[in-house]
Each structure stands twice: as structure tokens, then as C-alpha cells.
A and B are shown apart, each in its own frame.
Chain A
Amino acid sequence: MKSPDICRSSWKQDGEPISCSSPDLFKLQLRNQQPKTKYMLGKGGKRKFDEHEDGLEGKVVSPTDGPSKVSYTLQRQTIFNISLMKLYNHRPLTEPSLQKTVLINNMLRRIQEELKQEGSLRPVFVTASQPADPLSDNFREAQPAFSHLASPSLLPTDLVSTTPLESCLTPASLLEDDTFCTSPTVQHDGPTKLPPPALQPVKDSFSSALDEIEELCPAPTSAEAVAVAAESAAGDSKAHPCESSVPKPEGVAESRTAESKLMEPLPGNFEITTSTGFLTDLTLDDILFADIDTSMYDFDPCTSAAGAASKMAPVSADELLKTLAPYSSQPVTPNQPFKMDLTELDHIMEVLVGS
């Protein structure tokens, strides 16, 4: 088989998986990981989150159900991460399958739409430092975009018992272990509830600033933003386990802003990337993942956003401009001049940190 990162798992009679999943996915998950979560193989032990959660597999839960809403969001985020991994980690010798690319793109777009709709339903600014209760109220109000779809009945499969397969959900299982077990201030479902409320107001100011950052250069605007998005996606999955080391709400909010960065720039720029993917099979891997910049996710308000952005921009811009210009058939029309207001960014960081 040519594709090296396709995961083929087979399970022995006793349910213990033999082979492991995509190595790239694995790598990103394993950084800063505790040894016990190194294997996505379930040893058969029940995790305590299983008591509350109905399962992550393929089930859309009713939005009125508090803890299940969390699992829905979790699953959605997991699938989002997996989809991005698939798109950006693939280094085929031959052209990647267009059908697969289109299906993964559709999945990502759908999740994005949902997140956008969820974001737009929450008008109240909620700081990260607020306790979980009002957050959970806001949370319940926000009906997911999928609400027009009836939630499917729980499948007869005993999902808790199918631990090996659940444990194959590497990002999700890691999320459970770290996010929910180590956060001191909230319940297991707390931290996940934080992001959506925190997302919305933060998104507005931050993303507009980010848009300005994106308008660094005409052609690579999209690519750079994609670089940001992809890196933040890569870092996002990294950020989740990182939360265990910074169990503060601020820290959580910070990593969630990485997620928010993911949302806004993704729609437009993502398309361009995929279109170049369709048309030219240009892999941005070398540029995007050559050096994953983790400074974005340092919880240091002074250096994170401004420093990282300015550091990233010139690097990506030139390279991408050179590589994309000859290939892209998209008429890239750069009109907006680059303006980066550092003071505005500082202001945003202060707001985020709450200081």
C-alpha cells in the first residue's frame, strides 16, 4: 500500500488492537503527554468519564442534555481535528483522491457552519474567569446547528464496553483524560463548556485583529492564514493536552482562542487552499509543518499573539507567494494594505488574560 499514514487497525479476539493509528496524528498528540495515555489502545479499563458520557461514536445528542452536549461538542472537535490532519498531513506520491478530499472538506465546512451559528447565538460577553454555572446556562441556550435534526436513538451497541474502538479516538480520549480529570475549578464538563461562550466575544475583536494580520500580503494572505489555521489546528490538538499543565481558566481560554482563530479565517482561505489542492496538488506541508510555531500558545500575554504573528508572517508570505503564484488559478486580488495595530492587540490580550 502506498499511503503511509492510513491507519489500518485490526483487533485480536480479546479486543485489544494490534496496530496503531496514523503516525502524524500520534506525534502531535503525544507531545506533553503522560505516559499512560501514550497508547491509544484501551486496556479494558473504564474511564470515569464514561459514567457520564453516552459515547462519542456517531451519535448526535439532544442539545437539552447538559453533559451529552459536551460529548457532542467533543466529538465535533475531534472530527474537525481528524479532518484537518487528513488534509494537511497527507504526503502522497500520487495525487490524493479527489473524492476523499471533497468529502473531508464538506465535513470541515459543515462543522464550521455549525460553530459559526453557535457563535452567533451568544450575544453576551462572558469572561473566562467566571464560574461554570452561568456558562452552562449560556451553553444550553445555544442550540447547535444540528438541532433541526432529531437526535438519533442510542444504538444498541454498548459503547462503553467497546473500549478498544473508543480508545482509537486518540484526540477524544486524550481530551477526556486530561481536560476533565485535571481541571480543578470545574466539573469534567466544565472546560469544554468554556470555549463556546468564551469564543464569541473574543472572536470578534481578536479575529478582526487577526484579519488585519492576514492582510499582510496579497497572495499569501490566504495561505498564511491557512498556515495559521493549520498550525493552530495542529497546536490545538496539542493545546488540549497542554491544558493539563496549565489548569487555569485563563489558560483554557487562551487555547480556545486558538480554536477561534481556526474558525474565522478558515472559511475563505480554506477554500483557496483546497482549490489549489484540487488543481495543483501542491502540498503546503513543507511550509506549514516545517516548523510548528508553538509560541502562539505560550500563556504569556505580552509575547504570544503579536510576537508570533509578526514572526510568522514574513516567513510564510515570501515562500507561499513564490510557490502559489505560478500555480494558483484563483485571481488573487489584494486590495487591503497591511496594518497591524500592536496596541489593539495588547488591549485584546489584556482582556483575555483579564488583567
Chain B
Amino acid sequence: MKIHRRIGALRKMKCFPCQFSNTVKSTQFNTSALMSVFEQADIISTVEFNHSGELLATGDKGGRVVIFQQEQENKTQSHSRGEYNVYSTFQSHEPEFDYLKSLEIEEKINKIRWLPQKNAAQFLLSTNDKTIKLWKISERDKRPEGYNLKEEDGRYRDPTTVTTLRVPVFRPMDLMVEASPRRIFANAHTYHINSISINSDYETYLSADDLRINLWHLEITDRSFNIVDIKPANMEELTEVITAAEFHPNSCNTFVYSSSKGTIRLCDMRASALCDRHSKLFEEPEDPSNRSFFSEIISSISDVKFSHSGRYMMTRDYLSVKIWDLNMENRPVETYQVHEYLRSKLCSLYENDCIFDKFECCWNGSDSIVMTGSYNNFFRMFDRNTKRDITLEASRENNKPRTVLKPRKVCASGKRKKDEISVDSLDFNKKILHTAWHPKENIIAVATTNNLYIFQDKMN
């Protein structure tokens, strides 16, 4: 029923039916399942809920964006929240070729950020390595009928056959979801864009690449301001790159950016036009007992996220998640070890490049729980209040409908207990890099390589 409507809508759009057919909702589970699984045609590269949580956008390596919509809650089925169905699919970015360097520009979507809803349409920013696009996603469920000069199929009528006049009226039609690019922000980044972040003024946003951060106005595509530039005059001296950046959720003049050396800099745009000098520098002194060849690499921050309150920020490096109080620069207030058992395997992980994996992290709506991914399709949640943590696995085999996910445990050494997994049997190809938490409810989206899992907690 509803699925049919969606298929009809998608045919009108510039999308690929074959991709949609791969995005198949798992039919094993009934509508009140605790888990939905969607398989995407390509590797998922970003996941993001919108501000209300009703929509969930995913971007993939093929440049496509797939948006899921939460069903309206059914009064009769009060034991579960609305399920997510595919709402819209469109091709956001195409592969390009840089003729000057003779290299391809990947169409992989690095980040998606939603704008808050101002009218009936939804807007999101999506970016690949070089170009940011503003997309408008709108619904159409009525169409005009009864034109005087045109037939219903669009052919023009012979004016001599027109004998009466009528007023066209809007009649309901099958719901159609259209995505159209409204702005294209291009040619502002020499290096690869790793982050975009919308300001709390909802008029400007920043985009960050390895060495520079630019400030844009959403209406203006041919100009941007450069607000951070860490490119050294002599590229030989380059030892540090920008890895992530984000605007403060409440202060429209404040943003942070993280580096590959494990530092976070908070900048105030009121201080100067070029925010090369930070207002605050967050850095934890290194633990000398943990020093190794790989200390710098594992300290590189892969993601930084402000809490919803704006008081804290969270950073993810290779082995841990750290929570910083914006008022204290010299060390984080909380540190959670994600997979400390990997510390002894760093050399192998360096050899097979896994040490460069960029894990993301996210807060729940109330900032009480943080979540991040790991290997073997495991993901971890840390409760900041109770200091408890849990490891869960996103896989189809172990989960039947309505089953609560079973906590997993990795055994670092020694005797392996029952149900534990030993470090050596972890699958490092199965990694969860992208996770998202619904802004208001306990619904999470977890992306494995090709699959998107949506879990919700059991309502009583």
C-alpha cells in the first residue's frame, strides 16, 4: 500500500529504479518489529536524522541519498513507534574528473546535514570531496486538472475545438516526492571536504577540508569566506590537518575544529575575520605509559560533536571517546574506552590501514548516552550517568523480531568465556563507522557496510 505509493513517486524522479529495488525492506519482520534492515546498493558513508527525527537520510559511496520517513504512529499499535520506510532516493553527486591532476573526484557523499524545517519542504546539504549541494525535498499530492488549452496528457488542444471555458482544479494524486538541487557550492576547496555544519542562525554554514574552513551563506553560491587556514607556506612542513569541524548549537559565532594531532580548537568569529588563532585549545597531555609508535595516529580525532545543550563536546579518536567541558581545556571530563583490546594490535592495524578508519560518534537527545561504532559490526553505548556501557551487534542472523539485542563482549586475553568473542576472531572488514540517534526518541540508526539498521528500544 504505502510502498506502492512510494514506487510510483520515485519513477517520476531522477533516480534509478534498480537502486531502489536494492533498498528492500526486510520482510521477515512485521510492522512492530524492533529492528528494520535496509540494504543499500553501495557502501553507506553517512547517516543523519533531521531535526524532528521524522526523516533519516543516508548517503552512500555511489553519490546517492536515500531518505527514510517514520510512519505516523498508529494508535492501535501503541507498543512501538512508527517504522521507517523509504521516502525518497536521488542521485546527489556524480563522479567528476579533475583534468589538471588527472584524478577522479569521488561522488561519495561525505556528510549530510539537515536544515530546520521552515515550510512544507525539507532542505538538506550534502557534500562530496569538493562540492556542496543544497537539496529541496518536497511532496506533491495534488495536481491541477482541467486546463483549457492542454489535454490531460499535456498535448495542446486545437484552439478551434475549445467551446467552453473552465477553471482548472486541484485533484489529489499519488504522493510524489521530488528532490531538486537548489544551490551548488563548488570550487572553494582544494582539499577534500570532511565536514559541513549549519550555523544556529540558519543562514550560514561552514565547510571544512584538510587545511581550510570556509564560511558560506546559504543563498550565495559564488563566494565564501575563508575563516581558518592552516596550510603552511612550505608544504614540507605540513604535519597536521583538520579532521572535523562543527558550529556550536547555540552560539552562532563559535565553532570548533579538530586536528590529526588530537587537539580541538574553539574559535570565535567575532575575534577576527581569519580565525587562525584559537580562543581555546583542548588537548589532553599524553599518557607516557601508553606511548608507542602509533600514539600520534591513534590520537587523531575522527569526529567532534557538540552536545545538544552546547555545554559539552565529544571527540572520537581511534580507541576512545572523550567528553570535554567547554570550560576546561586541559583534559576531558570523561573518557570511555571503545576497544582498548586493540591497543596491542596497532602494528597490524597500521599495516592493513584499519588504524586510519574514521569512526563517528553521536549523542542521544538528552545528552545522557553517547554511542559509537567498532569492528565486527559492534557498536557501543556509554551511559554518562550510570557509567555503564554496552556492546551490541548489528547483524541479521542473531536478531529475530521483537528480540532485544543481546549484549556482546570481547575477550582481550586469557580464557574466553562462553559467548565471548576473542580479539583474533574479530572481523575488521565489518566496521560500523556511522551511527545516528533520533533527537527525541530512543531510536538509533546504525550503518554497517551495506546495511542500515534501525533499532528502537522496547516500549513497555
Report which A residues bind B (CB closer than 8 A). Answer: 1-2, 6-13, 15, 21-22, 25, 55-60, 75-76, 78-79, 82, 86, 92-95, 97-100, 102-103, 105-107, 110-111, 146, 149-150, 152-153, 155-159, 162, 164-165, 168-170, 271-272, 274-275, 278-281, 329-330
Contacts and interface: CB of A to CB of B under 8 A. Distances in A.
Interface in B384-430: 412-414, 422-430
The 4 closest A-B pairs by CB, nearest first: A7-B352, A271-B236, A275-B235, A157-B344
A107 B297 contact: yes
Interface in B194-211: 210-211
Contacts of B353: 6-7, 86, 100
Given A58-B293, A58-B346, A158-B413, 18 more contacts: A1-B43, A8-B429, A10-B429, A13-B425, A21-B352, A25-B351, A55-B344, A94-B103, A99-B356, A102-B238, A110-B293, A149-B288, A153-B289, A165-B345, A165-B348, A271-B236, A274-B236, A278-B238
Interface string B78-116: 000000000000000000000001011110000000000
Nearest to B102: A281
Contacts of A110: 293, 296
Interface string B333-362: 000000001011111101111101000000
Contacts of B291: 60, 146, 149-150, 152
B126 interface: no
Interface in B273-317: 288-294, 296-297, 300
A162 B424 contact: yes
A55 B429 CA distance: 25
A164 B424 contact: yes
B424 A11 contact: yes
Contacts of B297: 103, 107
B408 to A, nearest CB: 15
A297 B397 CA distance: 54
Contacts of A155: 343-344
22 contacts: A6-B353, A7-B353, A9-B348, A10-B426, A13-B425, A22-B352, A25-B351, A58-B345, A78-B347, A86-B353, A94-B104, A99-B300, A106-B296, A110-B293, A152-B292, A155-B344, A157-B412, A162-B423, A169-B348, A271-B236, A275-B238, A330-B236
Contacts of B240: 102
A124 B344 CA distance: 37
B260 interface: yes
Contacts of B289: 150, 152-153
Contact of A99 (B104, B241, B288, B341): B241
A149 to B, nearest CB: 4
B101 A280 contact: yes
B191 interface: yes
A189 B231 CA distance: 44
Contacts of A152: 289-292
B356 A103 contact: yes
Contact of A94 (B106, B211, B345): B106
B413 A157 contact: yes
A181 B294 CA distance: 29
Contacts of A329: 235
Interface of B: 43, 101, 103-106, 129, 191-192, 210-211, 234-236, 238-241, 243, 260, 288-294, 296-297, 300, 341, 343-348, 350-354, 356, 412-414, 422-430
Contact of B344 (A7, A57, A275): A57
Contact of B352 (A6, A12, A107): A6
B269 to A, nearest CB: 25
Contact of A8 (B103, B292, B352): B352
A4 to B, nearest CB: 12
A60 B293 CA distance: 8
A168 B241 CA distance: 30
A278 B235 contact: yes
B234 to A, nearest CB: 8
A5 to B, nearest CB: 9
A95 B356 CA distance: 16
Contacts of A82: 350-351
A349 B260 CA distance: 44
Given A10-B429, A57-B346, A103-B356, A98 B351 contact: no
Nearest to B288: A150
Nearest to A14: B425
Contacts of A76: 293
Contacts of A162: 344-345, 423-424
Contact of B351 (A95, A169, A275): A169
B27 to A, nearest CB: 29
A279 B235 contact: yes
Contact of A75 (B211, B236, B347, B430): B347
Contacts of B430: 10
B103 A99 contact: no
B356 A281 contact: no
Contacts of A280: 101
Nearest to A83: B350
B351 A168 contact: yes
A169 B347 CA distance: 8
A153 to B, nearest CB: 6
Nearest to B239: A106
Nearest to A276: B235
Contacts of B424: 11, 15, 162, 164-165
Contacts of A100: 353, 356
A60 B292 contact: yes
A164 B426 CA distance: 12
Given A102-B240, A102-B260, A275-B235, A58 B292 contact: yes
Identify which of B240, B292, B424, B430 gathers the most chain A CB atoms within 10 Å of its CB: B424
A156 B413 contact: yes
Contact of A157 (B43, B296, B341): B341
Contacts of B211: 98
Contacts of B192: 95, 97-98
A278 B103 CA distance: 13
A227 B236 CA distance: 18
A160 to B, nearest CB: 11
Contacts of B235: 274-275, 278-279, 329
A95 to B, nearest CB: 5
Given A57-B348, A75-B347, A103-B260, A10 B236 contact: no
A153 B105 CA distance: 45
Contacts of A169: 347-348, 351
Contacts of B293: 58, 60, 75-76, 79, 107, 110-111
B240 to A, nearest CB: 7
Nearest to B43: A1
A79 B296 contact: no
A97 B343 contact: no
B428 A98 contact: no
A168 B348 contact: yes
Given A6-B352, A82-B351, A102 B239 contact: yes
A99 B262 CA distance: 13
